[in-house]
Structures are given as structure tokens and as C-alpha cells.
Amino acid sequence: MKFFIDTADVNEIREATALGLIDGVTTNPSLVAKTGRKYLDVVREICELVDGPISAEVLATDYDGMLREALAWHEVHANVVVKLPLTLDGLKVTRQCANKGIATNVTLCFSANQALLAAKAGATYISPFVGRLDDVSEEGMDLIAKIVAVYRNYDFDTQVLVASVRHPVHVLQSALLGADVCTIPFKVIEQLVKHPLTDAGLAKFVEDSKKIPR
């Protein structure tokens, strides 16, 4: 499973890439707004830091506006993946991008039917939001299982990109279900390495090493 980092903070991206575990980056308007910077400037800097897919979202909601922004994002860098909302106009733009060889990430997916439509439209990635489903008392990972099963039934090329990840269990469940990608906030990436037995074992090794003759 590929690991993307879900952030627009270039300092977090630098730290994550230093680990050698990051395959790509996802951004969205909410994340970019936290930086206080222009979206284009943020994406250009990320493109210099990460050699992998970098999702940049259109801000328009109408067909013409989304298509115009999609074409503009495509010109920014070869690694930019155009992020489009899962609406009828968004799907129409997804098809236009697929016809032009432009990679897309269809976002705000909350049902298997939506994911099926995105795959038929030619999406490169589909982004189901598991954490937001959990927030409304639905089981977000059940959606991942359904999408993975549907896509395997018909050999769709669209990759399942698990989004709205809240904790390490989401990452593990995504891997067990066979998701292609998990996009993870930096704080969750840090949590993945943590285990109390690792900490205790390391402390014991350090303490015992002091007893070794020098």
C-alpha cells in the first residue's frame, strides 16, 4: 500500500519525506487555508519536495470552471493530480481529463455507488472519507471493503485512496482490505511507529548496555 501525506504544510512534508516512506501528497482548500499562502505557491513548492503524485483541488463547482482549473493545474507540473468533487459536473470533467491523459483524484466519496461512477468516468484515484463517515455513526471502513470488492469485480484501473484518516487503526484496516493508497496526516504517521513494548524494550537495552564493560 502506498502512503501519501495529507497536508499543505511543507515543513511536515520535509519531515515525512526524510523518513523515505512517502509516495505522494494530498492537499485540499481547508489545509491550504491554514498556511495563509496562495494555493499555487504551496503546490509548486511541494512539487519540488516530492517526486510523486500531488493532488491539487479545483475551487470552482461548475463544469466550465472546473475544466478550466483542471487544465491549469495540469500545466503546473507533471506530478499534479487534479482533485475533483464527486458531483455530476465533477464526473464530466473527470471524463474530459481522462480523455486528455490528465490524472484525477475524485474526492468526497461516501458511497460505493459514487465510487462506481467515478471509476466509469475514468478517475485515477477515488477518495472515500472514512473518518467523516465514522463521525456520523457509520462504519467508514465498510465503505472501503465495498469499493475494493466492486473494483476487483470489474478490474477497474481506479485506485482506492483512503482519506479522512484519523488514527493508526484506519491505516491497518486499509492495508488489510487491499486499498491502494492511504493518505495520512503527519500526526498519524508519527503514531504508526509507536508501541509501548518498543519503548520499554529500548529502555531496557539502553540500561543493560551500561553494564557492558568498556
Positions marked catalytic: 83
Give the other-Cβ count within 10 Å of 153's Cβ: 9
Name which of 111, 114, 76, 117 is nearest 98 in CA terms.
Answer: 117
Q: Return d(Cα 201, Cα 100) in angstroms, integer.
A: 54
Q: Return d(Cα 131, Cα 65) in angstroms, integer.
A: 29
Q: How far apart are the first and last CA of the chain?
A: 44
Q: Return d(Cα 153, Cα 75) in angstroms, integer.
A: 35
What does each C-alpha distance from 5 to 41, 120, 130, 152 come to in angstroms? 18, 27, 16, 25
Write the single-letter amino acid at 81. V
Where do the DSSP E strands lie in 59-109? Answer: 80-85, 104-109
H helix or E strand, kind and range, residue 102: none
